Chain A
Amino acid sequence: MDKLDELESQSIYIIREAYYHYKKLAVLWSIGKDSTTLVWLVRKAFFGEVPFPALHIDTSYKFPEMYKFRDAYSKKWGLELVMAQNKEALAGGMNCVKKLECCTALKTEALKMAIAEHGFEALLLGIRRDEHGIRAKERYFSPRDEDFKWNYQDQPPELWDQYKSQAEEKTHIRVHPLLGWTEVDIWRYLKREQVPITDLYFAKDGKRYRSIGCTTCCNPIESNAASIDDIIYELETTTTSERAGRAQDKEDTYTMQKLRALGYM
């Protein structure tokens, strides 16, 4: 087995563990490359029939291409799509200037509402350790309390392939099947498996998005990488970090830690 085979098998094992232990499960699908890889792996784990919903947190500020991609592939792959939106916050008017506040209202709070409404016990998320130093500290199975708090100072031990198989009451479990993948692993895998992906990632007029989210907080990078091969080559030679174009990481040194402690993805 090569490295991609090993990563794929480990992720499928984790997805199947999550499904065995937590029947009220959903996969969080932001339409980006990581969560689309995750949805692909979920399809493979269940031989093409996804037995739980895909949850899309819609801030209403996503790129039009993302909405189009979501609708086309949720239909093609037969996904049960569940949408979550913090309508109250949007009606009250959001300004995306205060990142901590905006991400918390439109993403974290919207997720809380979806969990309350659908009673999810566990969520599959496509975060990776190499994205951010805080995410490097995550476990594969990570409990969150009622208030969504991540107790990063006292995380449960996680030995070998033995994951947290029972949750305390009033918690939900975040499951991270892609934790051990790097950005370039994702692209090598998308290429090998010919997974469809939104074309926001490919360069047009000397610019491309390396990481996507809301239009308001994503800046494209200078790049001429117009194909997956170009992107893989670019990543093998660059030293710039992946989330360099994501504004919410920049506000102050510990914004990401604060966001995640409050339950941000």
Chain B
Amino acid sequence: MREDLKFVAVGHVDHGKSTLIGRLLYDTNSLPPDKMEEVRQMSEESEGVLEFAFVMDHLEEERKNRVTIDTAQIFFRTAKREYVIIDAPGHKQFLKNMITGATLAEAALLLVAAEEGLQEQTHRHAYILSLLGIEQLLVVINKMDLVDYSRERFEQIKKDITHRLGEFGLTPLLVIPIAAKPGDNVARRSEKMPWYAGKTLLEGLDMLQPAPSKEEGPLRFPVQDVYEREGEKILVGKMSSGILTRGQEVMFHPLGKRATVDYIKVFEGKREQAEAGRSIGLVLKDKSALQGLKRGQIACAVSPSPKVSNTITATIFWMNGEPLRKNEKLYLKCATQQVLCKVKKIRERLNSSTLEILEEDADLLHETEVGKLTIKTEESICMDPFEQVEEMGRFVLMRDTDTVAGGVVH
């Protein structure tokens, strides 16, 4: 079976993400004839030009206003593998949708329009990618046709974006000059830019690496639920990191209880091992060890152990119109853990595009802003630094029933 790869397309509004994706699908022959016909028909109804953006922008409001509102996913394949493209809206108002799309990606494609250069959402999206730990990045400088395919213009923007990304700790794999509408350097090499000898976008995509397996990390198995079958208690869940083996000794955190794995149960029967990413059932040897084991306990390797604490130092992005208030009560969810918490201190309030520190020791944090916080939880929870175990180092905050922020711990 061919491998597959998920990447998110990000960038400022109107820099041409939806058009580029439409062009990619068209050039790789991934558009069904009836879809192509639909696009042609739609284009006739509006203006008469072949409108690739319509392939991705399906909502009536999106097509009429020519702006992507929500994130979408589309599939295509090259000779090398299958791709999932996650289209993320470029408008500041729809940042939560961009973030929703980006959390699923293994790599990113950042677009910058040649005539406009770096804009507010270019910076913001790049910074969000770095926060989410998406380090594999291709940059395309789009709309080269609007700047007469100028090499100077390309080199200038390439220098600007490379410098900016460096500040976030990101290094683009490639920076490619393209024109999505006519299709220059997307799937086919452009004759208009003889000065560019590098790869086309399609060749660049085939260079991206799938996210490395989490098997190498320390064992972390968050208990999702406890089922009972034929008098046997089964702890079910999905492996976050590492490998679990029959007979292994584990520590449940935050409870701090030691237990031995009897066997790993799946629908088909018993397994000797389970690796990161697999949904399983876990049956323990010593039935008395089950006391207190329920959703939110994490089966961990005895060493290295995670951090168990009720004070968290974190960076969060706020995604709700109603600002975060210092000392407000919220729910924090990390893996299968859910605890009440209070934001004790907003140490820094940042503009997520300019990275300017707007305020230190703030009382409020507004939509699209990034905050460096100290959070106090009502009960101890178990986490790892995001850089070490991603799944156990990221969390969301909930107000009533709404997800209002995402964050990472350090």
Contacts and interface: CB of A to CB of B under 8 A. Distances in A.
Contacts of A134: 58-59
B31 interface: yes
Contacts of B395: 162
Interface stretch (A26-34, A82-90, A153-161): A153-161
- Main DSSP-derived SS at the A contact region: loop
Interface string A164-176: 1111100000000
B278 interface: yes
Interface in B364-410: 391, 394-396, 398, 400-403, 406
Interface stretch (B70-78, B145-153, B169-177, B342-350): B70-78
B42 interface: yes
Contacts of A167: 401
B225 A19 contact: yes
A166 B333 CA distance: 12
Interface in B297-347: 319, 333, 335, 338
B60 interface: yes
Interface in B29-46: 29-35, 38, 41-42
A88 B160 CA distance: 66
B401 A157 contact: no
A3 B4 contact: yes
B236 interface: yes
Contacts of B335: 161
Given A47-B227, A162-B403, A164-B401, A137 B277 contact: no
A45 interface: yes
A62 interface: no
A3 B266 CA distance: 18
Contacts of B58: 132-134, 136-137, 257
B195 interface: no
A162 B70 CA distance: 18
Contact of A156 (B41, B333, B403): B403
A159 B406 contact: yes
B236 A16 contact: yes
Interface in B61-105: 61, 69-75, 82, 84, 96-97, 99-100, 103-104
A37 B225 CA distance: 23
Q: How large is the interface on A (under 10, 10 to 19, 20 to 34, 35 or more residues)?
A: 35 or more
Interface stretch (A68-76, A98-106, A236-244): A236-244
A155 B97 contact: yes
B38 A253 contact: yes
A165 to B, nearest CB: 7
B77 to A, nearest CB: 9
Nearest to B55: A133
Contacts of A164: 401, 403
A153 B61 contact: yes
B35 A241 contact: yes
A168 B402 CA distance: 9
B74 A257 contact: no
Given A12-B279, A47-B227, A164-B401, A157 B70 contact: no
B72 A133 contact: yes
A136 B33 CA distance: 19
Given A1-B275, A16-B224, A133-B58, A47 B103 contact: no
B47 to A, nearest CB: 15
Contact of B32 (A6, A9, A44, A239): A239
B224 A47 contact: no
B242 interface: no
B30 A159 contact: no
A168 B29 contact: no
B143 interface: no
A9 B238 contact: yes
Contacts of A19: 225
B267 A157 contact: no
A167 B403 CA distance: 12
Contact of A136 (B1, B72, B403): B72
Contact of B1 (A3, A45, A49, A257): A3
Interface in A1-36: 1-6, 8-10, 12-13, 16-17, 19-20
A130 interface: yes
Nearest to B407: A159
A46 B266 CA distance: 9
The winner among B61, B71, B73, B279 for most chain A CB atoms within 10 A is B279
User: 4 closest A-B pairs (Cβ-Cβ)?
Assistant: A133-B58, A241-B32, A44-B267, A12-B279
Interface of A: 1-6, 8-10, 12-13, 16-17, 19-20, 43-49, 129-130, 132-134, 136-137, 139, 152-153, 155-162, 164-168, 180, 182, 188, 239-241, 244, 253-254, 257
Interface of B: 1, 3-4, 29-35, 38, 41-42, 55-56, 58-61, 69-75, 82, 84, 96-97, 99-100, 103-104, 224-225, 227, 229, 234, 236-238, 265-267, 275, 277-279, 281, 295, 319, 333, 335, 338, 391, 394-396, 398, 400-403, 406
Given A47-B267, A152-B59, 8 more contacts: A10-B238, A44-B267, A130-B75, A152-B70, A158-B100, A160-B391, A162-B395, A182-B82
29 contacts: A1-B278, A3-B1, A9-B277, A9-B278, A10-B279, A13-B238, A17-B224, A20-B224, A20-B225, A47-B267, A129-B72, A129-B73, A130-B75, A137-B72, A152-B59, A156-B402, A157-B99, A157-B403, A159-B103, A160-B104, A160-B394, A161-B335, A162-B403, A164-B403, A165-B333, A239-B30, A241-B32, A253-B42, A257-B59
